[in-house]
Structure formats: C-alpha cells, structure tokens
Structure 1
Amino acid sequence: MTTSQHKIGSGFGARSTAGEVLDGIDLSGKLAVVTGGYSGLGLETTRALANAGAHVVVPARRPADAEAALAGIPGTEVDELDLADLASVAAFARRFLGTGRPLNLLIANAGIMAAPERRVGLGWESHFAICHLGHHALVSRLWPALKAAGGARVVSVSSAGHHSSPMRWDDVQFERGYDRWLAYGQAKTANVLFAVRLDTLGAEHGIRAFSLHPGAILTPLQRHLRPEEMVERGWIDEHGNQADPDFKSPDQGAATQVWAATSPLLDGLGGLYSEDCDIAEVAVDEGEWVGVRPYAIDPGEAARLWELSENLTGTSLG
C-alpha cells in the first residue's frame, strides 16, 4: 500500500507543548469546536487555541462544569452536547448551524477509556458509541459549516491503544463477551479510520482530516482505573504520584492535536496519523506500540466503517 504516512521533520517532538507548537501562528478570526474541551487534554487544547486568537466552542455533557473550567479563558463559549445521545448531537448541530458561522477547526477530543460494560444510544457499546459514532454524527451534521470555511481541518484524537484491536467486524458491539481494553482499542482504531475516510470525502471541499496519538498522560481519562491497576502498570507510585518518566504533561499531551489542527506543514496533506508532533511511521513491529498499524489506515476498512456508521447513526454528509 502506497502511503504518505512518514515523518516530515516538523521540528517538534515528544516534549513540545501546545503553546510552542502555536508560537507564531495567528488564529484570529478562526472558529474551533473542541469536544471535551474543558478537561484534561481538551482543556489545554482550548486554552492554547484561544491564546492564539481562535474563538473556541466547547460542547459539554456538563455545561456548568465546563463554564467553571473555562472561566478566565477569553474567546470561549459553552454549549450542551452528549455524544452518547444522537438527539443531543442533532440539537447542538442545529443550534450551531443556526448561527451561520463557518467552522475552521473541529477537534474530536472527547472519549472514554477502559470503562465497564455499558450500553448507550441504541444499545451500542459505550467506547464505540462515544469515541466514534457520536463524533461521526457530529461531523456529518456540521458538514455545511465545515464546507463554508473554505478550508477546514478535522482532528480525530485516537491513541496508541489502537494497536490492541482492529475492527471486530464479527462483533463490533461486543455482544459475545466484553473486554474493556479491546473495546477501547477498537474505538481508537475507528478514530483513525474515520479520519482516513473523512479526508477522502472532504478533500474536494478543502476539508482535511487527521488522527493522532497524544502520548501517555495522567488525566481524568483514567477515571475508570483503580489506583492499584495504575501502580501495577507503573504509571503511578503507591502515593499516587506519576512514576513513568515517559508520561507527558497535559500541555505536552495537547501539542500533537494542536499541531495537527494548525501546522502549515500539513497543508495539502490529509488522512494521516500523527504522534509526538509529527507524522507517524507505519508500525512494523507488533510488539511495540509505536506508529500506526496498517489496518488502521486501510482505505477499504475505512470505507466499510463509514458505511456502518452512516447506517447506525442515520447521518450522511450533506
């Protein structure tokens, strides 16, 4: 498979911060939507984009919490959105489109990790529904605003967790036994495939899409893990302090998604997976969770997922 999935020498790396990535980039007059933009990496992403001049809309399942988290960050606004509820997605999109504003950047940042088995929406497995299907429906419904921007980027926040599972076409919804880490892994693969297909469909409209691994960071994303689990994995010590020296700070963790959303080095490119503020290489060693697995950037897999997602959500690009 011929691919542009190769490093391009961005000049940034694993320890670069979101602020450093945006140094010298003026986002004045640009409008961004950041899902989950009031906690963890999302909050740092919102802060960085706003500091660079963008106006940032933060759709939130808990609007009051979002208002409190964003207090003091100028150029932000909060609206209500529950990615697990297609009616909520549709309502948010109607309100946004009703303002008549073009959408320059959409960062699909919200998600869950290693959650207990839960069914949401129309009986969907929660990781697949929240991390992928909700964002698929959101982008589809906001398509007119993305097209109106005359050049937009959509960034899908995936993870190295995609290495743990390709799409499980014979049991996407985990109806024959549940594994929370495999469910997370499949959802993160879906995030990559979503960007691959979206870029193919959007390029003619000036809409380019990217996905990424932000790195390992201690954030509220770990809310479903017991402290003992994180100690066993070497993430924290027995006192709850970060123990893994390779973990990034939230500001460093937000850098790759900010880079994917704004870097001029990516002009004319799309459908690519990034890590450490550069395009990632295709993974060749299945034992190391570095780079992107071939199944996650396969155009055929991406088209198959897109068709399934349209059928499940009842949405299509307008």
Structure 2
Amino acid sequence: MAGTWNVTKIPDQTGKRVVITGSNSGIGYEAARVLADRGAQVILAVRNLDRGNEAARRIRAEVSGAQVEIMPLDLADLDSVQSFADAYQSKWDTLDILINNAGIMAPPHRQTKDGFELQFGTNHLGHFALTGRLINTLLSTPSARIVVVSSAAHNMGTIDFDNLNWADGYRRWRAYGQSKLANLLFAYELQRRLEQIGADVKCIACHPGFAATNLTAAGMGLGKSWLGKGIGGFANVFAQSASMGALPTLYAATEPRLQGGEYIGPTTRGGKNSMRGYPGVVSSNQRSMDQEVAKRLWVVSEELTDVRFTALD
C-alpha cells in the first residue's frame, strides 16, 4: 500500500468535516491545506488565534473555495478542551475526521493549567480529553476516523505511573518519549474498544518521521538560550519537509484500505520503518502493544481528566 503514496492518491473529501489540532503551522497546517484542497471543511483547532487566522488566510489564498474555520483550543487547559467540544457540538452534529496532531517537544519542566507535566498533559491527556468529549459525535458520523500523531520517540518512553508528572528527576526527552508512547497506547486501546462495540469509527496512529517543523526548533528552544534554539534549527536542516512529514497523517486520515489500529509512518522501498520517505504501515515497539498498561493508562487518564468514554462501555 505504500510505494510512493502522495497527495494525488487522496480520494475526494467533499462533504467531510475535519478537526486538526495544532494546525496553524508545520504538519498540521500541511494536512489542513491538502484536505481543504480535496474539498473537506477544515476546522483549525489552535491555541493562538492570530496565527490560526493567518494560516486560514494562507490556505484560502492557495486553495480556491477553501472551507476553513478557526476555533480556539488549548490542550494544556482542560476547561478549554471542554469549551472547544461544546462550541463544536453546538454548531455541528457530525465529525468525519479528528486529527490529534498538536504537541510540544522537550521543554524545560513546566506544568499545564491543571497541574500536569506539560508534555504528558498536552500531548496525551489533552487529546484523550478532546477525543472523549467528541466521541459521541464521531460515533454518529458514518465511517469516521480518529488519527493520533505519535513519534518514533515512543521508543525511548516508558509509562511511570508513580511519576507521570515527573516531579522527581525530570528528564525532558524521556518525558517526551513517555507522552508519545502514551499516544500509541491510547490509539490502540481506543481501536480495541471501538471494535468491541462494533463502531463505524476507526482509530489509526501515525508518525511523521524526522520532519522540519517548528516543533523541533520551538520545543527544543523553549525557555533556553540561543544555543538551544540553534540546535533545533540545525536539526531541521537534515529533516524532510513538513509536506513530506504530513503524508503519514494524510494517509492515516484518508486511505480507504486501512482497517483501524495501524501505525503509519515513512518507509523504505522495502516497506521497513524509516525516518524519511513515503508513508506505509510500520511497526511500533512492544511496550506500545502492552494491553494491560494501555488499560491502566486509560483508567488513569479518565481519572485525571474527568472525561469518560461511556459510549464505549
């Protein structure tokens, strides 16, 4: 299914409604632009409305007749997550594709508004809560999809239930790896629960490989000197473009042959995992497949966010 899959393979998306978190730049922006070009109505769920409006202006300038809207969403604030979901559901009763894309990478130790370590709280808990708040709308939409963007960095993560907030001995890259591992555990567990009730919704995980986005430069530079920012920018020189990095997300969101539960990422011509290249089905590590850890993480995430997926019980 992979080969040289690119945006020309995306089916017409006319009539579909898509929410993409963190879509004012980078991979999220590229995915939004392409899906708008294919006819979808795209909602840019962004923390910074000025940047969101600028992203929407750019998409409208590139795509004639683009249907793009901007809605405020701060994944580091569970009240904002609820407000977004309430506002969305007051306007629309369907959601064809939810792309959980936004993230932060390797900042100094900081906390969300609700007191969670910033990466775990934003990358995992914020998206867990958002998906839970929107699950009934997704279930009522024929052939809906949920895309969870993870990272190859899940390989350096473990779920430390005794220190999820990294109050003891914060290590920024290990914390990032934990949040990205949590993304995969959530995606796989969500797919299993959807299958158990026979839902017409698929959940598919993906990762962009090594892509040049402001996540690298901004995340590594957050609260740091010019040296930290420079390292992030230097890394981007060796990365593939944001448009290439967005292909796994677009593949996960639109490829008709996917069944749900797959992990999509760049592949080599032989179909093996890679950090660059065209997208296909790839593999994640054994820790991401641990169903007991996934179930425990699900319960803990419900308790921490006070969001429960009752429709999947």
What TM bracket, shorter-length normalisation?
Answer: 0.7 to 0.9
What is the TM-score normalised by the length of structure 2? 0.86
Query: Which structure 2 residue ranges, 5 or more long, are not aligned?
Result: 61-65, 275-281
Give the counterpart of 1:182 among 174, 180, 184.
Answer: 174
Q: Percent identity?
A: 36
SS of residue in 1 equivalent to 2:257:
helix
Structure 2 counterpart of 1:103: 95
Give the counterpart of 2:8 among 1, 9, 20.
Answer: 20
**Deviation per residue, 1:238-270 (Å, 9 max, x gap):** xxx71x2xx21111000001000110120xx22
Matched residues in 1 for 2:75 and 2:90: separation? 20
Give the counterpart of 2:234 among 226, 233, 236.
Answer: 236
What is the TM-score normalised by the length of structure 1? 0.85
Root-mean-square deviation over aligned CA pairs? 2.2
The count of aligned residue pairs is: 288
Structure 2 vs 1, CA of residues 263 and 200 (structure 1 numbering), >3 Å: closer, same or farther?
same
Code of the residue aligned with 1:180 in structure 2: it is R
Structure 2 counterpart of 1:309: 301
Matched residues in 1 for 2:68 and 2:92: separation? 17
Give the counterpart of 1:274 among 250, 253, 264.
Answer: 264
Matched residues in 2 for 1:263 and 1:111: separation? 24
Q: For residue 36 of structure 1, report the CA deviation from its aligned partner.
A: 0.6
Give the counterpart of 1:61 among 25, 29, 47.
Answer: 47
Q: For residue 121 of structure 1, report the CA deviation from its aligned partner.
A: 3.0
Give the counterpart of 1:254 among 242, 246, 263.
Answer: 246
Structure 1 counterpart of 2:204: 210
Greater helix percent: which structure?
2
Q: For residue 143 of structure 1, report the CA deviation from its aligned partner.
A: 1.0
SS of residue in 2 equivalent to 1:107:
strand
Structure 2 counterpart of 1:300: 292
Q: For residue 119 of structure 1, report the CA deviation from its aligned partner.
A: 1.0
Q: For residue 232 of structure 1, report the CA deviation from its aligned partner.
A: 6.5
Matched residues in 1 for 2:290 and 2:9: separation? 29
The answer on whether the counterparts of 1:282 and 1:293 sit within 8 Å (CA) in structure 2 is: no
> Are residues 1:150 and 2:142 paired?
yes
Matched residues in 1 for 2:145 and 2:267: separation? 16
SS of residue in 2 equivalent to 1:113:
coil
Matched residues in 2 for 1:265 and 1:10: separation? 11
Matched residues in 2 for 1:229 and 1:94: separation? 39
The answer on whether the counterparts of 2:266 and 2:273 sit within 8 Å (CA) in structure 1 is: no
Structure 2 vs 1, CA of residues 282 and 64 (structure 1 numbering), >3 Å: closer, same or farther?
closer
Query: Which structure 1 residue ranges, 5 or more long, are not aligned?
Result: 1-8, 284-289
Code of the residue aligned with 2:262 in structure 1: it is L
SS of residue in 2 equivalent to 1:211:
strand
RCO greater where, 1 or 2, for CA within 8 Å and sep 6 or more?
1
Code of the residue aligned with 1:211 in structure 2: it is A
SS of residue in 2 equivalent to 1:124:
coil
Superposed counterparts of 1:22-171, under 5 Å: 22=10, 25-71=11-57, 72-73=59-60, 74-171=66-163
